[in-house]
A = this chain, B = another copy of it.
Amino acid sequence: MEKELVFGHQSPDTDAIGTAIAFSYLQNKLGYNTEPVALAKPNDETAYALKKFGFKAPRVIKTASNEVNAVMLVDHNEPQQSVSDIDKVKVTHVVDHHRIMNFNTADPIYYRAEPMGCTSTIVWKMYHENGIEIPQNIAGIMLSAIISDTLLLKSPTTTDYDHKAVKSLAKIAGVDYEDYGLKELKAGTNIDNKTEDQLISGDAKSFKLSGNQVRVAQVNVVDLPDAMKRKDAFLKAMDKSAKENNYDLFMLLITNILDSDSDALVVGSDSAKAAFEKAFGKKLDNSEIKLPGVVSRKKQVVPPLTEAFK
């Protein structure tokens, strides 16, 4: 069988990399010939999870058509989040938990999307549906992906299936998921060795809301006051990025993974900032706003912003 590559989105997180590994293993068991790859090096959290379960970081690619004719996508479908030459290869499979946008095919394909907290939860279901046993290390990396995407099952995106998958996978992987999960998340919170430019671009997504270019970046920490010591430097880097990329609004969500509270920093035009204040029903105080209980960009930030910009 002709080889296919399996990969997640740009700026990969533990779901993008871990689920690519787990889905590739499943597809190979089902008779395909696949290799999991990544669109960039793993972040600190993902590197911790890969090491814990004995995986090397997947090979990094920027384009696919130079080595294969067909690919499988996990954790994304929008072309601009994929390899730069996605239009030059055939997509045969997609497994994802995001909205579907600008994804078109010439032929019928396998497409599996469910509104779960993590793509690995869907892949976990697929292992069961196909009667394929999950090896210990694959269980470990899928568990890590779900812990990452759901912030240890605390994010409002979390479903009953995410809970079930975490319990089942932790058993196979042989770890206490609460103990391991906290260690995994903490491994991704060391911001001391990163510049502000790196931090505001590491986990950042762009959205077009009623004609406004809105950028929402997120950084996980365990000590919010400590992170806020760098507030002025963050604002300066955000201001520069907003000007260079014509963002009407740039929001940085700094989330304390221990108590699920966030502080947000915001730069942008006066009208965009007014929309932001409307979205959350609070006034910005010196470019800053407290958002207790807000941890999910997808569920708690983008929907109210979308409404407010209408």
Contacts and interface: CB of A to CB of B under 8 A. Distances in A.
Interface in A84-132: 97-115, 125, 129
A104 B102 contact: yes
A110 B108 contact: no
A164 to B, nearest CB: 14
A101 B109 CA distance: 12
Interface string A222-246: 0000000000000000000000000
A273 B37 CA distance: 46
Nearest to A100: B105
Contacts of A113: 108-112
B99 A105 contact: yes
Contacts of A103: 100, 103
Interface residues on A, range: 20 to 34
Contacts of A97: 108
Interface string A136-160: 0000000000000000000000000
Contact of A109 (B100, B108, B129): B100
Nearest to A103: B100
A112 B109 contact: no
A3 to B, nearest CB: 19
Contact of A101 (B98, B99, B104, B306): B104
Contacts of A108: 97-99, 113-115, 298
A108 B103 CA distance: 14
A272 to B, nearest CB: 20
Contacts of A106: 99, 306
Contacts of A105: 99-101
Contacts of A115: 107-110
Nearest to A104: B101
A111 B104 contact: no
A117 to B, nearest CB: 10
Nearest to A303: B107
Contacts of A112: 111-113
26 contacts: A97-B108, A98-B108, A99-B105, A99-B106, A99-B107, A99-B108, A100-B100, A100-B104, A100-B105, A100-B109, A100-B111, A101-B104, A102-B104, A103-B103, A106-B306, A107-B115, A108-B113, A108-B298, A109-B113, A110-B113, A110-B115, A111-B111, A111-B112, A112-B113, A125-B129, A129-B129
Interface of A: 97-115, 125, 129, 298, 306
Given A100-B103, A106-B306, 11 more contacts: A97-B108, A99-B104, A99-B105, A99-B108, A100-B104, A103-B103, A109-B113, A110-B113, A110-B114, A111-B111, A111-B113
